[in-house]
Amino acid sequence: MQLSAKLAPTFDYPVLERFWRTADELGFPAVWNYDHFYGLVDPTTPTLEGWTSLAAMGVVVRRARVGCLVTGVTYRNPAVLAKMAVTVDHICGGRMDFGIGAGWHEDEHRGYGIDFPSPGQRVAMVDEALTVIRRLWTEDAVDFGGRYFTLRQARCDPKPVQRPHPPIVVGASQPKMLSVAARHADEWNMPSTGPQEWAAASSRLDAACEAEGRDPSSIRRGVQLFLHPNQPDQVDGQLDSIAEYARLGCQHVVLSFYQPPDDSLLRRCAELI
């Protein structure tokens, strides 16, 4: 079981930097942020941009892997996103995991004038984007004519430090996105409300893999647990649930903190590693 730590970029930069550095020093194998422009509940919550803060994380964090859990597919052209990801992979010396999902925060899209297609279309965009991104990471020049994206002799040089490419983490819970994960993911992650819900989705991923002719065991299984440090009983319950997730086949737990944890809580979590 791998245990990693996540803090959204909704706090002052020195707070984020302290969290990243402390998590790295305590031995967490990976540190994460997320990709939003507004606060998730209150849109006025100050929020730093995910990929530029991830680049900073790649410098501050010296040992752990880094990643964005997850990038919204609608926010950037996939060729530009592929180039950004390669840049971060070079900045951190090949320690980046590439997380992507279909996106859901409608207010961000409306506010910034970004198209907000239907859920089914956004899922199809992830499928197409991952096809494009993987090719850009591994081929000299890419021609692609899809429903959503078009590339003509597109190049992505240099290639990633990690070969053939950084691990792809797909965030998914519903059947269509689980099928995308079955086609593309090295790891699947799901924000979970409980172990049984997670296990049911994991079983659906097994079926999606079988439909794709893929060995289900080739995809690492992960869950994102949300911790509220200002609610100690809630934190206790989430940490206690880790054993049950492990029993059900979970291989990676991402502890996502809603408030910055103090050093004692982060150390307590690190001891579970």
The model's pLDDT over 113-142, given as tens digits with 9 standing for 90+, comes to 999 999 999 999 999 999 999 999 999 999
Range of the domain at 121: 2-271
DSSP result, 77-137: -HHHHHHHHHHHHHHTTS-EEEEEE----HHHHHHHT-----HHHHHHHHHHHHHHHHHHH
pLDDT of residue 193: 87
What's the pLDDT at 168? 98
Read off the tokens for 29: 């194998």
Rounded CA separation 71/66 (Å): 13
Measure the CA–CA gap between 37 and 56, rounded to whole angstroms: 17
Q: Distance from first CA to last CA of the chain, Å, rounded?
A: 8
Asked, as a colleague might, if the bond just before 167 is cis with ω within 30 of 0, I would say: no
Q: What is the pLDDT of residue 192?
A: 84
Which DSSP category does 159 fall into?
A: P
Kindly give the parts of the chain with pLDDT less than 50.
Answer: none
Q: What is the CATH number of the domain that holds 211?
A: 3.20.20.30
220 φ/ψ angles, rounded to the nearest 5 degrees: -70, 140
Cβ atoms of 19 and 56 closer than 8 Å: no
Cα–Cα distance between 14 and 27 in angstroms, integer? 20
Contact 198, 190 (CB under 8 A): yes
Number of Cβ within a 10 Å radius of residue 153: 8
- State the Cα–Cα distance between residues 58 and 205, nearest whole angstrom: 31
pLDDT attached to residue 273 = 85
User: Strands 220-227 and 187-191, how do they pair?
Assistant: parallel
What pLDDT score was predicted for residue 53?
98
The three-state secondary structure class of 147 is coil
Count up the domains in the chain and report the number.
1
